[in-house]
Amino acid sequence: MFMVRRWDRRAGDWISRMIRGSALSSVERNNKQCLGVCMKVVLRIVVSHLSVLVILNFSGAQLSAQWDPYPQPGAPKNPDGSVNITAPTPRTAQGTPDLSGVWLTVRDKPLGENGVQNTRSSFFNIGMALKDGLPLTPYGAEIRKNRLAENSQGDPDAHCLPMNLVHLHFGSDPRKIVQTPGLIVFLFETNSQVRQVFTDGRSIPKDPQPWWYGYSVGSWQGDTLVIKTTHFRDGGWLDAEGSPLTDAATVTERIRRVNYGNLEIEMTVDDPKAYTKPWTVQVKQRLLLADDLIEYICLENEKDAAHYVAR
């Protein structure tokens, strides 16, 4: 049997790429009328692909899509045998909350028509989560304006390059957290990206080579993991529309596992080159039960970038 459990998570990424393409570049992405037309075009393609999958399924083709569901050992249970996601937060042998697990972002906007990801979510425009919008400097505003004018075709994710850590937290693909006493590793399904957070007491290097994810160190403040990240590459993207992050930025994350099945991440961006003051956004994630990451190689058979055009 062919298993298709990840179509909803792939759709948002695929559609954002499609919208950058030449077939849809003559209209505004954020215009509701455009979105209605664009989604119909994309959905016709999705339906045609699903038809092929259905044919394979009923023709007896035996294809293995990913890991089979595997219940988490030791998960707390309700009287009916289901997992109790509101059970107390699990803890490590060191007494700190255990963040380990596979986590999926809770969308801050409901799905749009026909189940397609709403393009007015924080993944596309992180400023929508702020009451007064992003406090952009003239420099930051000019960068964002120019990126939008080019149909956001320079988005690293659209070219299979690493996404900024803030952008990744809002992504629709799951991520796995692996926690050890001195190191926490984030494994992102999106393009198989890996991020390390050191909790062994080391300091951030004084003048390192800038990195896509920056350099991250973390410590526990009560039950909250506080991560400080600096030394990003210049020219970063915080969302799909192009809100900037520069090499002057410091990103502080506060991660809290509120109970067995829910995670809250608060992110403060302090970037004096792009923003007039620090600002904070929050994302919620839920534990994926009996599920795991699948392989995602963005560059495999990649044919989108050649069709990206400015408006």
For residue 120, what pLDDT band results from cuts at 50, 70 and 90?
low
Question: So what's the pLDDT on residue 308?
Answer: 79
Question: So what's the pLDDT on residue 70?
Answer: 84
CA distance 209 to 59: 54
With a cut of 80, say whether residue 12 has pLDDT above it.
no
Which residue do the tokens 């293995």 mark?
A: 64
134 plus 235 within the same structural domain: yes
275 inside domain: yes
1 inside domain: no
Judged by average pLDDT, the poorest of 64-68, 71-75, 165-169, 235-239 is: 64-68
117 inside domain: yes
Contacts of 302 (CB under 8 A, 6+ apart): 160
Average pLDDT over residues 8-35: 44
For residue range 179-202, list pLDDT tens digits in order: 999 999 999 999 999 999 999 999
CA distance 125 to 140: 14
SS3 content of the chain, % helix, strand, coil (to 5): 25, 25, 50
Average pLDDT over residues 170-181: 95
Bridge-based pairing state of the strands 224-230 and 215-221: antiparallel
Coil, helix or strand for 39?
A: helix
279 plus 137 within the same structural domain: yes
Average pLDDT over residues 32-41: 40
Question: So what's the pLDDT on residue 112?
Answer: 53
20 plus 106 within the same structural domain: no
With a cut of 80, say whether residue 22 has pLDDT above it.
no
pLDDT higher for 212 or 114? 212
What is the average pLDDT score of the chain? 82
Which residue do the tokens 């299979």 mark?
A: 160
30 inside domain: yes
Contacts of 130 (CB under 8 A, 6+ apart): 279, 281
Evaluate whether 197 touches 216 at the Cβ level (below 8 Å): yes
Domains in the chain: how many in total? 2
Coil, helix or strand for 309?
A: coil
82 inside domain: no
Question: So what's the pLDDT on residue 72?
Answer: 82
Question: So what's the pLDDT on residue 24?
Answer: 39
116 plus 258 within the same structural domain: yes
140: exposed, middle or buried (Cβ count in 10 Å: 0-12, 13-18, 19+):
buried
Q: What is the Cα Rg of the chain in Å?
A: 20
pLDDT higher for 20 or 259? 259
Cα 211 → chain centroid: 18
78 inside domain: no
Which residue do the tokens 């952008």 mark?
A: 167
With a cut of 70, say whether residue 223 has pLDDT above it.
yes
Which residue do the tokens 């998570």 mark?
A: 9
11 plus 114 within the same structural domain: no
Report residue 234: phi and psi, to 5°: -70, 155
175 plus 253 within the same structural domain: yes
Q: Which amino acid is at 217?
A: V
Q: What percent of the chain has pLDDT over 90?
A: 64
138 plus 275 within the same structural domain: yes
CA distance 43 to 117: 12
127 plus 260 within the same structural domain: yes
Q: Which amino acid is at 163?
A: M
116 plus 161 within the same structural domain: yes
129 plus 44 within the same structural domain: no
CA distance 181 to 219: 11
CA distance 218 to 198: 6
120 plus 246 within the same structural domain: yes
* Residue-number span of the structural domain to which 139 is assigned: 101-287
For residue range 243-302, list pLDDT tens digits in order: 999 999 999 999 999 999 999 999 999 999 999 999 999 999 999 998 899 999 988 888
Q: Which CATH number is 108's domain given?
A: 2.40.128.20
205 plus 128 within the same structural domain: yes
What is the token pair recorded at 163? 């996404």
Question: So what's the pLDDT on residue 73?
Answer: 83
